[in-house]
Structure 1
Amino acid sequence: MSTWNLSSGIVYDTDEHVEAPPARTIPPADKLAAVESSPGSPATPEGHSGPGACLAAMDELQVYTLTDTDSQVLGEVRSFIVDLHQGRLAYVVVALSGAKGAAQLTAVPWHALAHAPHERRFVLNTTQADPAKAPAFDAAAWPDMSNCDWAQSLHDFYQARPYWL
């Protein structure tokens, strides 16, 4: 039997005979697929430091731009939104190029993006969604991104699979 503490969100097992789950281990480096790291990444092989070739530090990604499939710059990455309950990256918040005021932002669903690490950019995967027409917000007044209606309409706009599915 399990007990869920509503205030902390922690689930406690109350059965005495429950076995502990097996420990999760990271496979040895020679068993991982080789992925080339981005230039200047802290994961470069020479230094053998940083998070690794398949991972990136958030501060490294915050210098990325958002482009369309023709490499036209649409905006600059400002922030990342993580769903802490599911452990997933949900949105990339972008300051749009040419927007009215530098404080005009939009959220782009993670599944609407492709990654171009050697060019330090994210590519909007759809040609039908114009971020300039996307739901935008002021940097001083963010929407409630946990609102299901807001989230679904944003994913619909970008024709992206919702991250929670």
Structure 2
Amino acid sequence: MREETIAPTSTGSLIAADRVEGTAVYNRGGDHLGSIKTVMIDKPSGKVAYAVMSFGGFLGIGEKYHPLPWGMLTYHRGQGGYVVDLDKGALEGAPQYDAAETPNYEDQAWGKQVHDYYRVPPYWM
């Protein structure tokens, strides 16, 4: 059976959501910080609200997840990944959770804490 292609996986400026998952995240110095685990999309607006980045751990053990407001990320073609203006120390104190936790992404107080930490306006404003 032939697999049908619904849409390209990427174009010059667009990328399919499943292709974002696993993409590397670097800081401005070129240090690898982690990779995108998933993206969270605001249903009413259709905007990507967060990139959930995996950070630390080894083979998935001890891995932490950091919700990064989408507007913080810039795609860098040369590196083949996203770049953020953060260092590893900033991530260690950032809002995070592990695989056993499920944060309430719809809780605006929680979202405000994430956005305040990174000093970016909330996506819902």
TM bracket, shorter-chain basis? 0.7 to 0.9
Amino acid at match of 1:52: T
Unaligned runs of 5+ in 1: 1-48
- Structure 1 segment 102-117 matched on structure 2, within 5 A: 102-117=62-77
Q: Percent of aligned pairs with the same residue?
A: 24
Structure of higher CA gyration radius = 1
1:137, 1:63 → 2: CA distance?
A: 18
The equivalent residue for 1:70 is: 29
Amino acid at match of 1:109: P
Query: Structure 1 residue 98: deviation in Å?
Result: 4.8
The equivalent residue for 1:56 is: 15
Is the 8 Å Cα contact of residues 26 and 32 (structure 2) preserved in structure 1? yes
1:101, 1:130 → 2: CA distance?
A: 21
1:160, 1:116 → 2: CA distance?
A: 20
Give the CA RMSD over aligned residues.
Answer: 2.2
1:150 aligns with 2:87: no
Is the 8 Å Cα contact of residues 91 and 108 (structure 1) preserved in structure 2? yes
Match of 2:38 among 63, 74, 79: 79
Secondary structure at the aligned position of 2:30 is classed as coil
Unaligned runs of 5+ in 2: 1-6
Query: Structure 1 residue 102: deviation in Å?
Result: 3.9
Is the 8 Å Cα contact of residues 73 and 97 (structure 1) preserved in structure 2? no
Runs of 4+ in 1 over 3 A off after TM superposition: 98-103
User: Bigger relative contact order, structure 1 or 2, given CA contacts below 8 A and separation 6+?
Assistant: 2
1:101 aligns with 2:44: no
The equivalent residue for 1:161 is: 121
- Structure 1 segment 9-48 matched on structure 2, within 5 A: none
Query: Structure 1 residue 145: deviation in Å?
Result: 0.7
Amino acid at match of 2:76: A
Q: How many positions carry a matched residue from both structures?
A: 116
- 1:93-146 Cα offsets, whole Å, 9 max, x none, are 01113589344211111112111134221111356x811211111123210011
Query: Structure 1 residue 52: deviation in Å?
Result: 3.1
Change (3 A) 1:114 1:91: same
Question: When the two structures are superposed, what TM-score results if normalisation uses the length of structure 1?
Answer: 0.62
